[in-house]
Structure 1
Amino acid sequence: MDPNKVGEDRTSGDGDMASVMGFSGFGKKARTFDLDAIFEQTRRTAIERSQRALEERHMEEEGESSKSTKASVPTQKVKSAAASSRKQESSSDSGSDSDADSDSDSELIGPPLPGQYTAQGEEELVRRSGPASSTAHSDDDDNDDDEGQEDEDDNNPVKKIPDTHEITLQHGTKTVSALGLDPSGARLVTGGYDYDVRFWDFAGMDQALQAFRSLQPCECHQIKTLQYSVTGDVILVVSGNAQAKVLDRDGFNVMECVKGDQYIVDMANTKGHTAMLNSGCWHPKIKEEFMTCSNDGTVRTWDLQSEKKHKSVFKPRSFQGKKVIPTCCSYSRDGKLVAAGCQDGTIQIWDRNLSVHTKFHCKQAHIPGSETSCLSFSYDGMTLASRGGDDTLKLWDIRNFRKPVNVATGLTNYFSMTDCCFSPDDKLIVTGTSVKKEEGSGKLVFFDRASFQRVYEIEVTDASVVRCLWHPKLNQIMVGTGNGLAKVYYDPVKSHRGAKLCVVKSQRKEKQAETLTQDYIITPHALPMFREARQRSTRKQLEKDRLDPKKSHKPEPPVSGPGRGGRVASHGGTLSSFIVKNIALDKTDDSNPRDAILRHAKDASENPYWVAPAYTHTQPEPVFAEESEEDEEAEKEPEWKKRKI
C-alpha cells in the first residue's frame, strides 16, 4: 500500500471529523502575551504623561510670552522619546504575536489627561494654524456673550417668574379660601366659602378643565385650610367647626379629631379644640403629625394614629398672662419650631418639644386687633414672613426677632387667610391684595427679599386675591380669588408638567347613544316556515303581559286551610290571629256604656260572685222611705210653683 495515499486519507479524515464536530484548526497555535512588555509600556506611558503635565504647569507659571517659545522643545522631546520608546518596545516584543501588538497599541493605557491641559493644547494648535484661528475666536466671543446674558438672567429673579401663560379653574361662585397641591404636583385641591372641596388632576384633565370630584367634608362649614402631607397620600381639612378632618387622595375620610369639653377652664386638660378652627398645617418631616389652632386659645399638635387625644398643647399668652387667640400657625422648614400669629398682633414661636415657654416672642409685630393671616418660613430657615391684617407684609430674622428687617405697607387685606410665600430660589416674596367689589383688580405682588422693593405685580382678576402658592417642582403659581376662580400661572419653558399637561389635550366630545334598528321586511307570499312574525303594537303586548301572573308580579292569594309553604292561614293558630278573630273583629256595639254594663245586671244579682257573697251574713236589710200623698201632689205641681229649699 502506498504511504502517500495513507497520509492523504488521514488528513481528509481529520477534516471530516472537524466539520462534523463543529470546529476546525486542530493544529493552530494559541496566542501568547508578553506581560512584562505590556507592564513596561504602561509604566513608560505614565511617566511621559506626568512629565508633560509638569512641563505645562511650569509654562503656565512663567507666562504666556515664554510659554509659546518653550512649549515646542519639551513637547518635541517628549514626542521623540515616546517614538523611540515605542520602537524599542516593538523591537523587544518582536517575538510576540502581531495581533496582541495591534490590540495593545489601539488601547489607551494609563489615566486620561485632565480637561484643562487638553484645552490648552487645542489653543496652541489654533494659534499655530494661522488665519483659521480668527473664526474660532469670534465663535468663542459669541458664546461668552450668550453666557453673560444667561448669567444676568440667573441673577435677575424677576426673569424667573412664570407668568407668560395662565389657565382658569372654575371652583364656584364664592371665595376660594383654601388651596393645596401635592408634593409631586399632580393634583390640586381647592376649598371655598361654599363648603365644597374640589379635586383637580392635571394629568387627567383636558381643555375643558373640569374637576373630577366634588364633596362637602364638613357639611355647612367654610373651608379654611387644605394641605397635602409630606408624602402626598392624605389631606388636612380645616373648616369653621372645632374638629379637623383628614381625607385620603380620593376624598374618603381617614380621621376626624375629637372635640374637647367646653366646660373645662384649662384648655390643656381637655382632649381637643372646643371652638372654631382658624388654620392648620402638616409637619414638614414627620408624615403623621399635623397642627391646628383655634378660637379656644390653643395650638395643638396631633398624631394621625391616635385620634382620641391631641399630642401636645401650646397656649399663647400676652405679656400680662391673658389668653390670646391664634389666627394662623406654621412649622419651620426643619420642623423644630412652631410659630403662631395672634389676634393681639404678637408672633410667638415655641420649640416643638417645649410647649410651656416661648422661644421667641415679638410683642408688637402687627397692630393689636388685626388678624395676622399668614406666617411663612423661608427655605433656608433663617427668615420669617408675616402677612398682617393691618395691610402690611413684614420680614423677620429669627436670630434677631425684636424688630422686622423690612416692612411693606399699603397691601389691602380683607381676609383672615391671605397668603404670603417665598419663591423656590428664596429671592422673592409673593402675596395677594384685596379689593372691594367693582373697585379695581386684585393683584399678586412680588417683593425682592434683599431690598424689599416691589419688583413685579400681576393683575389677576376684578376680585380679591386670597390664596397664593408657588410650587418649587412645577415652578407654577396657583392663585385663589374672591370670585370663585383658581388660576394657574406657568411658563412653557421654565415650568414643568402641571398645567402644561392639560392644555395640550383636546376637549373630549360627548359620546352619542347609538342604537341599531333592524328594518322589517314584509314577505306575504313566503312559506310559513320562512315567514317572519308580524310586528304587533306595544299596547297589545302590555295587555298580554298584564294577564301573565309572573310578568305582572301578581300577589299571591291568601292561604286557606291550615297553611302551606311556610305561610300561616288567615285564621290560623297563632295568638295574633286569635286576637284579631275574637276581639278586634267583635261587632258588638259599645257606644252606650251604661247599657253595656246593665246587660250583666240580672246575672250579677242572681249569681253574685265578687262583692255580694262576702256581706250576705253581716249586711242589714235596707229600709227605704215610703212616698206620701203630699209628695205625689208636689210632683204634680208645675216647676214655677215649687218652693225652693
Structure 2
Amino acid sequence: MDSNNTEGRMNNDGDIASVMGFSGFGKKARTFDLEAIFEQTRRTAIERSRQVLDDRLMEVEAQGESSTSVLIQKDTEKAAATSRKEDTDSSSSDSEPVGPPPPQKDSNNEEKENDDDDDDDDDDDLVGPPLPPGYKGGAPQSDSDDEDEDEQNDEDDEDDNPVKKIPDTHEITLLHGTKTVSAMALDPSGARLVTGGYDFDVRFWDFAGMDRALQAFRSLQPCDCHQIRALQYSITGDRILVVSGNAQAKVLDRDGFNVMECIKGDQYIVDMVNTKGHTAMLNDGSWHPKIKEEFMTCSNDGTVRTWDVTSEKKHKSVFKPRSVQGKKVTPTCCTYSRDGKLIAAGCQDGTIQIWDRNLSVHTKFHCRQAHTPGSDISRLCFSYDGTILASRGGDDTLKIWDIRNFKKPLNTANGLTNYFAMTDCCFSPDDQLVVTGTSVKKDEGNGNLVFFDRVTFQRVYEIEVTNASVVRCLWHPKLNQVMVGTGNGLVKVYYDPVKSHRGAMLCVVKSKTKVKHAEALAQEYVITPHALPMFREARQRSTRKQLEKDRLDPKKSHKPEPPVSGPGRGGRVAAHGGTLSSFIVKNIALDKTDDSNAREAILRHAKEASENPYWVAPAYKKTQPNPVFAEDSEEDEEADKEPEWKKRKI
C-alpha cells in the first residue's frame, strides 16, 4: 500500500515539473572532500614559509655569513614547526569525533613560550655593525625631532603660565550710550550680549547678526526711568532677569518681551517676612544655576528673596541678614554657589553672610569683618570648583575666601579704587586668575582691568581699558572672550583669533551693509478687484523695478533746484523770488496800478477781451447758438401802462 502511494506521488511530482517547466523542486546538497582541503592548506603553508625564508635570506646577505647561517637555521626550524602544526591540525580534524574539542591550553602556552625564547635568541645572536648614535628603536633622530620637542616644551610652558591664556590681542568697542554701563550679561551659548546702564536703556547685541558697524538690534526701557542695576541670563538662555532701581524685578524673554514682574510688598508692615515682595530699591539679582524657574533678588528693605517665574504673586522664601547687635542690615549684592545649595550676600556693614538654600533662618557661614564696616560690598563670585569665594569691596580691596575656613581671607589685594556699587570681579574659565576693574575720576587717568593669580595673588597682568572707570567685567568660558563695561557708556570686547571662538569674531569679518535710500517714492498701488479691465491698474511686482523705470524718465528723475540761501547765485536772488511768498510780495510791490476803483479795473481789459477773446468765448464757439432777443410789442406797452392793482399777480 505504501509503495503504491509513493509511486503515485513521484508520478505527480514529475507531471507538475513538466507542466511548470523546471526539472526539479530543489538543488542537490554540495559535498566537500575534507582531506583534499587540508592537503591543499598544508601545501600552501609550506610554500609561504619558503617564500618568507627566501625573502629573509635576501635581507641578511649583507650582514655577514655568520648571521646568515644562524638565521637560516632559525627560520628552517620555524617553517618545519609550522608545517608540523598544520599536519597535526589536519589529522586531528579528520579523526576528531563530533563534540567539543579537547583543551589545548598547555601546548599553546608552551609554543608561545618557545616563540618568545626564539625571539630573545634572535635579538642576542644578531651580528652586525653598531647602531648609529641617536638611534632609538626606529629611524635615527633628526633635527626636526629636536624642534618638535622644543615646541612641545614651549606649549607646556604656556599651559603652566596662565597669563598667556588671556585673550587680549584684539578688541572691539560697542557703544551703549553716554552714561555708565552698570549691568551686562551673556547667554550660556555666547550668541547674544545684553547691556544696561544709568540711561535706563537695555540693549541687545547679536554677534552673529551684527556687521562691522556694531549696532544693537534692539533697545528698550523695561523699567521706565530707573537705573539698571543687574542683568543675567537664565541657565537655558531663554529668559533675562532685569534688576533696576525700583522695588520690582522683571523677567524678559530672549527678545525683550515681558514674561513676569515681581509683586511689590506692603511698606507699612514691619516684619518683612509677612510681605509678599520687596518694599524698597533693589540692589542685585541672580538666577539659580540648576533650577531654571528660580531666581533671587536683594533690596534696601533688608531682605534677600527667592522667586519662582511661574508664581509672581508671592516670593518663595526670605533671608534676613543681621548685624552683630541683631539689627537689620542692607544687602548690596547676592549670588548662588555653583551647585545652587548656598546663598551668599554681601552687606553694607562689610559682612558676608551665607545661608543654606533650604534653611532661611540661621546662616551657615558668617564673616563679621570681611571688609571695612560701612563699605558696600559690590560683588561676590564663586569659583568654578565651588570652594573659593571672591569679594570686591567698597574699601578698595579684593579678597578671596575658602568657605571651608571662613574666618580669615586667603589673600587680599589693596589699592583697587572702587567708586561704584556694582564694580565686578570674576574668575577665569580655568580658575587660575581673578579679574576685577578699577575706578577713576573724570579726566584723572585710565581705568584698568587687573588680573591676579589665584594661588599667589600677585598682580600678573593689567589692561588699560579707557579714560573712565571699569565697572563690569565678564569672562565667558565658551567664547574665551572678556567683556568690559565702562563708566563712559562703552563695552569693550577683548578676544584672540587663535584662543577665542565665535562671539566678536563673527561680526568683525562682515562688511558694513549699505542702506539703500529710495530715490523716488513709488506710486501707491490701489487694489480694485471688481474694477473693469480698462480701469484696472497693473500690479507692481517690485518697487525696485518701478524705481529703475522712473530713473530713466527725464521728468521724474529731474532733481528740483534747492532753495537759495544767502545773496544768491546763478541769476537767482534769494531776497526776491526765492520762495512763493517773496514772489507774491515782489509782484504786489512792483504793480503800479491803482485798484481802488473796481469798475475801472475790470473795464480796463474790456477792449482787449472783445478783440482777442481767450477765456470764455473760445470754449463755447462751436456749440453756442445764435442769440435771439425778445422784441417789445404793443400789448407789453399797454400792460406797462396799467396800474399796479390791475396787473396779474404771479
TM-score in same-fold range (> 0.5): yes
Counterpart in the other structure of 1:488? 493
State how far apart, in whole Å, the 2-side matches of 1:476 and 1:82 are. Answer: 67
- Following superposition, the deviation at residue 89 of structure 1 comes to 8.3
SS of the residue 2:279 aligns to: coil
Q: Cα distance 1:492–1:85, how it changes in 2: closer, same or farther (>3 A)?
A: farther
Q: Which amino acid is the alignment partner of residue 516 of structure 1?
A: E
User: Aligned partners of 1:236 and 1:79: how far apart in 2?
Assistant: 78
Query: Residue 516 of structure 1 aligns to a residue in which SS?
Result: helix
Residues 179-198 of structure 1 aligned to structure 2 (within 5 Å): 179-198=184-203
1:298-317 to 2 correspondences below 5 Å: 298-317=303-322
2:548 matched to 1:516? Answer: yes
- C-alpha contact 2:302 2:320 (8 A) present in aligned 1: yes
| TM-score when normalising by structure 1 | 0.63
* SS, match of residue 156 in structure 2: helix
Distance 2:406 2:278 in 1: 30
Corresponding residue SS for 2:141: helix
Asked whether 1:331 is paired with 2:331, we answer no
In the aligned structure 2, how far is the partner of 1:502 from the partner of 1:82?
72
For 2:158, what is the secondary structure of its paired residue? helix
Ranges of 4+ aligned residues in structure 1 off by more than 4 Å:
26-34, 75-95, 127-135, 518-521
Report the alpha carbon displacement of residue 131 of structure 1 after superposing the two structures with TM. Answer: 4.8
CA RMSD of aligned residues (A): 3.5
Distance change >3 Å, CA 130–CA 196, structure 1 → 2: same
C-alpha deviation, 1:145, in angstroms: 2.3
Identity %: 74
CA distance 1:93–1:391, change in 2 (3 Å): same
For residue 450 of structure 1, what is the aligned residue in structure 2? Answer: 455
Work out the number of aligned pairs and report it.
Answer: 440
* Residue-by-residue CA offset, 1:163-222 (whole Å, 9 max, x unaligned): 011110000000000000000000000000000000000011111111000000000000
Instruction: Tell me whether 1:137 sits opposite 2:141 in the alignment.
Output: yes
Instruction: Give the alignment partner of residue 409 of structure 2, picking from 386, 390, 404.
Output: 404
What CA deviation, in whole Å up to 9, does each residue of 1:32-68 have, x standing for no partner? Answer: 999x99xx99xxxxxxxxxxxxxxxxxxxxxxxxxxx
Aligned with residue 152 of structure 1, among 140, 151, 157: 157
Equivalent positions of 1:50-199 (< 5 A) are 83-84=82-83, 88=87, 130-131=131-132, 134=135, 136-138=140-142, 139-199=144-204
Sort the Cα spacing of 1:363 and 1:136 in 2 relative to 1 into closer, same or farther, 3 A.
same
Q: Give a deviation string over 1:542-567, Cα, whole Å, max 9, x none.
A: xxxxxxxxxxxxxxxxxxxxxxxxxx
The alpha-carbon distance between structure 1 residues 30 and 237, as it changes in their structure 2 partners (threshold 3 A), is: farther
260, 263, 266: which one pairs with 1:258?
Answer: 263
Q: Offset of 1:140 from its aligned partner?
A: 3.7
Cα distance in structure 2, aligned partners of 1:31 and 1:218: 90
> Match of 2:237?
232
What's the secondary structure of 1:443's corresponding residue?
strand
Secondary structure of the equivalent of 1:391?
coil
Measured after TM superposition, the shift of residue 331 of structure 1 is 0.4
- Deviation of 1:136 after TM superposition, in Å, equals 3.6
1:415 to 400, 420, 443: 420
Q: Is 1:222 matched with 2:244?
A: no
TM-score (norm 2): 0.63
Distance 1:84 1:133, change over 3 A: farther
Listed as ranges, the gaps of 5+ residues in structure 2 are: 1-20, 43-70, 95-115, 519-543, 555-650
CA contact (8 A) 2:167 2:500 kept: yes
The answer on 1:372 being equivalent to 2:377 is: yes
1:264 CA drift (Å): 0.1
Instruction: Measure the CA separation in 2 of the matches of 1:268 and 1:81.
Output: 95
Q: How far does residue 508 in structure 1 lie from its aligned partner after superposition?
A: 0.9
Q: Which amino acid aligns with 2:448?
A: K
**Number of the residue aligned with 1:618:** none
1:437 aligns with 2:469: no
Shift in alpha-carbon separation, 1:129–1:282, aligned structure 2, 3 A = farther
3-state DSSP of counterpart to 1:517: helix
- What is the SS of the residue equivalent to 1:221? coil
CA distance in 2, matches of 1:433, 1:396: 21
Counterpart residue number, 1:504: 509
Displacement of 1:453: 0.2
Shift of 1:151: 1.2
SS in 2 for 1:290: strand
Q: Structure 1 pair 79/376, CA: closer, same or farther in 2 (3 Å)?
A: farther
Partner of 1:559: none
